[in-house]
Structure 1
């Protein structure tokens, strides 16, 4: 089949590496086809969430949610992961021996005995797969004739169903490329009993030094042996697209000669219970089209026939559902543990940003820590929430105004059984923000139920930070740092690293002789004093406790910059930071032009809205990947001055579908821009000639630049591109399946280049280079129609001194931005 549809039953999209995929392609109604929509309508519009729709056969009820007899129960449910790919099988041409890339079989019909000329044991096709029965003591499998060239080629297959151990001492599956010499071969060998996968270069039926890896049915779903430029490699892939080299050798002489080879797919077990091994997709060239989650499984009937027409959405569905972000300072507390490189996690986090009428502070991590209640000590003094907190964060803080060091209010609470148990296993790391003008007070403290283990952060009489500890119930040992006077009326960020017993203040380490504590079974936490004494006077915010198995305080200390919203960091770093806030481990960044970005410090907006702010500020492109659960960001220079080498596809006008037209309207026209930035000037850029010819087409531009000059550059960039847009092709509809460069067309993605040539003589140009902004495709049996939504590539051309194409006066004199 041309399409490969897989479901990740029981998997979670946020953990894509752990998903076991199930092929449901045989359920797809290919008469109606699979439709995928991706990208934006044009270069001035935001990319939209990608979608996929298809109709699936449900005659057996397997796709009915809640059906206990379904083999997929109970995982037929909303948000189930799904991925769609094209499986292209190159046609065989010429006479034997053929190129190894032409060794293909999708097993969609009865076993091709003309291809698999040697067969042992029981081999049948079932559901579009080759099923080989592995009866104990009986070798079984299929083998081609000696008709295939491996040099400069690849031979691959998908191991859909590996053998089971079945109480056998050995249960194996092999993918073997045989030479003409018996026992000389290249082998992928899976031993399910040992749980190993070996890449073998056998001579005389043996390899003394094979490469052995632990087998993973997820990571090693696809197996490939490939030769290129004198090197032979064994590769595995979880999806047939992203391959990992597991072994490489200098190409053996029998491969480089080249010698005609044969491929064998086989299975064998020594004992135990008979089972089977299933192979599929031999020689398939995979092109991912969609990765996302199913919105619902709506069951419907036509007479007695049941079907499910599903729609799915890419990762933007999940991102758009995420709650509004806290301030960047708060989000750093919640997510910075992913950067430590150690096993670490937040155990409790008290932002202390409750409303003014609150009498207690709550934890936002949810591991069982109780609320911290306002507790009186002596007579007089007060404690209030809701006052202005760390500047530029937009969050409030706790204010403490005691009558004296022994009279006032502080917060006290139980951290809970789970947190106490966690403290026994890992070291505690503490973060806190303070502002005070009063020395000699305790900031926070904690202890177990019998006061054996205690930890206190305090300021001594000189305002210098101290760390006080005990782990045997003896009097507190005071370690004094070299922090200097922190009782200076300014906000300070303090981090205590419980592994190294080191302190960081405002992002920098400070020295001092500190005695560590095991902090085992810690249950009680005090904020604003300690055990009815040293009542803190001032403000405290963002108290967090982190547990780690290593020294990671320096990572927490770096979040001190969050108070300014990381103003000035480059756009690519900001995108990666925001992606981390959304739970994404990484972002693929394309391009090299990344300007500094202003603060996005205060919370209240969603992560997608913030990512879009960066995208708009940088004239970049943000979209979901189509081959995995990931985000991609392109800087504007990705589109600068495309060359013929960067062209993904070229298609003749005669091969386009009817309706192709050039657009020349005012949809994109912009000849006056009023631009501004947070805290900066409001500036105007216009194109007088365009205004004279067409009238004023104004636009507002509010972006997160860090300088007024950068704002001016962005405004000029917009006006210079669209003061008088040239006629352009906005759609390129292609019946791609019949095109000789089918795979090249499928490689086109957002910001890819293509050329339409041999345009009619009435066209404004005989050749038009276009940039892909998005596309809609429908995949059917032996049919693949794709309509690219495009823009004119010249819109992103920039001036290059002396270049024959990009230095033409009044044509390509646009300065790069």
Structure 2
């Protein structure tokens, strides 16, 4: 990375314009702030502060002499970048690809070898990201593709252009910048085919195999499609859609045969920024499409300028604009109104909807509003609005009584198919027959009436001829189990085909099953619905009925109420963020898999930002902003576990600048945690013993309690969350709130330091002798970055990283379990290389040489045990790493690097 080569650009009239030369550094440095301080509950909007020289008035939006007049103003986009490696940049949009036309060498039908060197988030959830492929599902021209989806590396191919075949492995922990490779042996000699996956630091290798080869039954072949070979090959026909990757591409290879002939080799590192067309080393012409670009910039900040204040000195020699741009969180938090209930938001999205009345009015309303253009409000009387708020997917709904009358007119829809649906809760069955709803149609039956009785539910069709009417019982459903005492959806639909009409009446218990009947009537037409009404009458005396979200659709089939009726209860936090992102048009990138996040309770009306914050609070990850575009980013909690350091610093080396101020305080201590499920029960976790326990000093620190209400799917989620928060709040560790890196003194650290984002782990080795000797382990919560001529500083906001080093099965570092209690049996000095120990509780330690070396921690000192001997009591031989000090008999110690159940131990 060239140092630091700062560039500031504004988007004037939709065109990115370089204004670096006007950056006014004499009065104001360029400062970027992101993330949160310590472990604040929510992330603050990102900020970028800088000054622009405005002596000629060009940055005064209302100055007609400015070349930017009419082109800049409120929320003008701005971005700040530094020099970076030349590469292909894709933003994930389906138009952003690079392609070369079909050619004979690309029509590989046998063994194939695909390779890609990219920089992406390998854990990105629910993004079906294609790296390179020759694939078009819309025209059944599928050949081969290498892609990443939900933590898996996948090789897709087709033997006929239509059917997709897939082999996949789980992606191991990889650096963001890495190369991956997949090979396909179409005939492995044993009647099958074999796919093998690899990774390497770059396309030059060396290659490391990922997992075991994927062996599938049956030989295969690859279809020779006619579509172009694409980097970022999309397929909108796939579910979920295969889209171009989001990130950077460096080099790609397609080989005919495993380690065979290179037939395509686009290398983006050799191109000039802005290149649109180029020829690769084997003669293929490649063209950048859509949003794809060749760039040598790394975006440090992307935001919006909300105001352009002018300032000047007394003599008028200096005129400048002190800008403060903000990330997307600021705009989302400005005057945002609460989103409607999930039903109110979702039902109008059905393309077949003709009429809809949510009935979520306030108590004093006199009619029921319709959000559908051209549909008049529903006329009502004898109704008590906002009487019941117990349906998770709705705002409060009205109570219907014996005196209620309501009616709504329905615009004309297509003849021959319709559907009427609404939610209701009836506390008990009426003693006498009661009509719940009447549907008027232009079909054979002018009116259809849904009637409930003490033991059944009936549907009547009424035909009117002149002054006489004839009622026909069409359906009789009984017994009526589940019809009352819970929230249900009542559905009535009709469809005419071949001279007959099928009608179905059923109710669906919200969150449960359905009960109903159908009938097919020859010579009967469905027509279309003209009106709906309800006048229950005396049958509802002493009965409570609540209803709402009444809709009429021009189709018999609709699933639009599904899941929205219970507010998407049980939806994971990640899935909720992605759904809200799609519904509101606010991009949210998920770092990690949605399936790895916790289940949530119902989504109640609230602002978008608060709903996203609730999801982050439930899961316990980090919600923040994307650095390179106006978008949000959520890092799932499990993505913070046991990660390799993104930046490794050395106290004795260059780069680490003062101050490094340790703090040994109680700022983050929480030893009595109560977690309450909103609308449900609670769980409590208390640390009863230990230095940070609720015991009064000197045995503990006293009570530091906390009570948190979370949106949880079930009550039993509260206890493990309480214990996890207790674990985080009772770490007997020194805090290092900030870490200052001076990149002018250590430019070799620039690439790694610039790559650090919120949630990354950083370490500091070789601390000074007045601090504990172990490597300082930290999680970055945010940072402040400052630029001046020839200076680039980053100050990271940090919290302890050790609590996030958790156990992982089959991991050489984190796949070991501690015993329940071990103490030194004899005191040791700094020079001792052997420890005698006594197990006070639980099994003895392993003496299998294959289990060593392993890390141990004795009285705060980290050691390496190279051998363990002894049958009844254990003896540790250790390496001496500088001799920190002496340790007394009885000193407790633990394993470092996590704990799981697959570590071998002896005895009991």
Q: TM-score per shorter chain, which class?
A: 0.5 to 0.7
Partner of 2:331: 317
Of 540, 543, 547, which aligns to 1:541?
547
Partner of 1:725: 732
Structure 1 residues 315 and 468 mapped into 2: Cα distance closer, same or farther (>3 Å)?
farther
Q: Is 1:434 aligned to residue 428 of structure 2?
A: no
- Distance across 2 between alignment mates of 1:367 and 1:374: 20
Q: Contact between 2:503 and 2:518, CA under 8 Å: does it hold in 1?
A: no
- Distance across 2 between alignment mates of 1:651 and 1:747: 14
Partner of 2:647: 649
- Distance across 2 between alignment mates of 1:513 and 1:68: 73
Q: Contact between 1:63 and 1:308, CA under 8 Å: does it hold in 2?
A: no
Query: What pairs up with 1:8-87 in 2 under 5 angstroms?
Result: 22-26=16-20, 29=23, 31=25, 32-43=28-39, 45-56=41-52, 63-65=59-61, 76-80=72-76, 82-87=77-82
Shift in Å at residue 769 of structure 1? 2.5
Q: Which structure has greater helix proportion?
A: 1
- Distance across 2 between alignment mates of 1:256 and 1:344: 46
Partner of 1:669: 669
Structure 1 residues 815 and 361 mapped into 2: Cα distance closer, same or farther (>3 Å)?
farther
- Distance across 2 between alignment mates of 1:576 and 1:478: 47
Partner of 1:412: 407
- Distance across 1 between alignment mates of 2:309 and 2:476: 64
Shift in Å at residue 619 of structure 1? 3.0
Q: Contact between 2:577 and 2:612, CA under 8 Å: does it hold in 1?
A: yes
Three-state SS of the structure 1 residue aligned to 2:50 is strand
Cα shift readout 1:71-93 (whole Å, capped 9, x = no counterpart): 7665644344x252524245xxx
- Distance across 2 between alignment mates of 1:656 and 1:49: 27
Shift in Å at residue 310 of structure 1? 3.9
Task: Give TM-score, length-normalised by structure 1.
Answer: 0.62
Partner of 1:359: 366
Cα shift readout 1:510-567 (whole Å, capped 9, x = no counterpart): 55247999987x7x6544259x99999963433254878x8861242333433xx61x
Between the two proteins, the alignment pairs up a number of residues equal to: 632
- Distance across 1 between alignment mates of 2:494 and 2:787: 57
Of 752, 755, 779, which aligns to 1:747?
755
Partner of 2:219: none
Q: Contact between 1:6 and 1:22, CA under 8 Å: does it hold in 2?
A: yes
Q: Contact between 1:673 and 1:686, CA under 8 Å: does it hold in 2?
A: no
Q: Contact between 1:570 and 1:597, CA under 8 Å: does it hold in 2?
A: yes
- Distance across 1 between alignment mates of 2:462 and 2:587: 36
Three-state SS of the structure 2 residue aligned to 1:711 is helix
Structure 1 residues 234 and 651 mapped into 2: Cα distance closer, same or farther (>3 Å)?
farther
- Distance across 2 between alignment mates of 1:720 and 1:88: 41
Structure 1 residues 86 and 798 mapped into 2: Cα distance closer, same or farther (>3 Å)?
same
Partner of 2:437: 443
Partner of 1:636: 637
Shift in Å at residue 497 of structure 1? 7.0
Three-state SS of the structure 1 residue aligned to 2:346 is helix
Q: Is 1:801 aligned to residue 809 of structure 2?
A: no
Three-state SS of the structure 2 residue aligned to 1:669 is coil
Q: Contact between 2:573 and 2:594, CA under 8 Å: does it hold in 1?
A: no
Cα RMSD after superposing both structures: 5.5
- Distance across 2 between alignment mates of 1:722 and 1:572: 25
- Distance across 2 between alignment mates of 1:593 and 1:670: 29
Three-state SS of the structure 2 residue aligned to 1:775 is strand
Partner of 2:153: none
Q: Is 1:588 aligned to residue 590 of structure 2?
A: yes
Q: Is 1:791 aligned to residue 799 of structure 2?
A: yes
More deviation, 481-490/680-689: 481-490
Structure 1 residue runs of 5 or longer lacking an equivalent are 10-19, 91-100, 104-150, 155-226, 268-279, 376-381, 403-407
Cα shift readout 1:451-495 (whole Å, capped 9, x = no counterpart): 99989673477754759799xx99999975969747645432135
Three-state SS of the structure 2 residue aligned to 1:433 is strand
Partner of 1:506: 509
Task: Give TM-score, length-normalised by structure 2.
Answer: 0.57
Partner of 1:714: 721
- Distance across 2 between alignment mates of 1:333 and 1:465: 29
Structure 1 residues 657 and 432 mapped into 2: Cα distance closer, same or farther (>3 Å)?
same
- Distance across 2 between alignment mates of 1:245 and 1:27: 30
Three-state SS of the structure 1 residue aligned to 2:690 is helix
Structure 1 residues 468 and 747 mapped into 2: Cα distance closer, same or farther (>3 Å)?
farther
- Distance across 2 between alignment mates of 1:359 and 1:662: 64
Partner of 2:562: 557
Q: Is 1:370 aligned to residue 385 of structure 2?
A: no
Q: Is 1:2 aligned to residue 6 of structure 2?
A: yes
Structure 1 residues 235 and 372 mapped into 2: Cα distance closer, same or farther (>3 Å)?
same
Partner of 2:183: none
Partner of 1:615: 616
Partner of 2:383: 383
Three-state SS of the structure 2 residue aligned to 1:647 is coil
| Structure possessing the higher relative contact order (Cα contacts under 8 Å, 6 or more residues apart) | 1
Partner of 1:770: 778
- Distance across 1 between alignment mates of 2:577 and 2:265: 47
Partner of 2:846: none
Shift in Å at residue 30 of structure 1? 5.9
- Distance across 2 between alignment mates of 1:28 and 1:806: 56
Three-state SS of the structure 1 residue aligned to 2:563 is helix
- Distance across 1 between alignment mates of 2:305 and 2:491: 43
Structure 1 residues 386 and 596 mapped into 2: Cα distance closer, same or farther (>3 Å)?
same
Three-state SS of the structure 1 residue aligned to 2:518 is coil
Structure 1 residues 266 and 283 mapped into 2: Cα distance closer, same or farther (>3 Å)?
closer
Q: Is 1:659 aligned to residue 667 of structure 2?
A: no
Structure 2 residue runs of 5 or longer lacking an equivalent are 89-114, 119-201, 206-227, 234-242, 278-290, 496-501, 808-814, 819-853, 859-891, 902-908
Query: What pairs up with 1:488-503 in 2 under 5 angstroms?
Result: 488=484, 490-495=486-491
Structure 1 residues 544 and 798 mapped into 2: Cα distance closer, same or farther (>3 Å)?
same
Q: Contact between 2:309 and 2:322, CA under 8 Å: does it hold in 1?
A: yes
Q: Contact between 2:48 and 2:325, CA under 8 Å: does it hold in 1?
A: yes
- Distance across 2 between alignment mates of 1:247 and 1:477: 71
Q: Contact between 2:254 and 2:263, CA under 8 Å: does it hold in 1?
A: no
Q: Contact between 2:329 and 2:625, CA under 8 Å: does it hold in 1?
A: yes
Partner of 1:756: 764
- Distance across 1 between alignment mates of 2:417 and 2:491: 13
Structure 1 residues 453 and 701 mapped into 2: Cα distance closer, same or farther (>3 Å)?
same
Shift in Å at residue 786 of structure 1? 1.5
Of 210, 233, 242, which aligns to 2:247?
242
Structure 1 residues 51 and 454 mapped into 2: Cα distance closer, same or farther (>3 Å)?
farther
Q: Contact between 1:482 and 1:512, CA under 8 Å: does it hold in 2?
A: no
Q: Contact between 1:292 and 1:315, CA under 8 Å: does it hold in 2?
A: no
Partner of 2:830: none
Partner of 2:701: 695
Shift in Å at residue 334 of structure 1? 0.5
Partner of 2:848: none
Structure 1 residues 710 and 497 mapped into 2: Cα distance closer, same or farther (>3 Å)?
same
- Distance across 1 between alignment mates of 2:663 and 2:64: 55
Structure 1 residues 431 and 30 mapped into 2: Cα distance closer, same or farther (>3 Å)?
farther
Structure 1 residues 743 and 371 mapped into 2: Cα distance closer, same or farther (>3 Å)?
same
Shift in Å at residue 774 of structure 1? 0.6
Partner of 1:683: 684
- Distance across 1 between alignment mates of 2:50 and 2:416: 49
Q: Contact between 1:613 and 1:703, CA under 8 Å: does it hold in 2?
A: no
Query: What pairs up with 1:13-162 in 2 under 5 angstroms?
Result: 22-26=16-20, 29=23, 31=25, 32-43=28-39, 45-56=41-52, 63-65=59-61, 76-80=72-76, 82-89=77-84
Partner of 1:572: 574
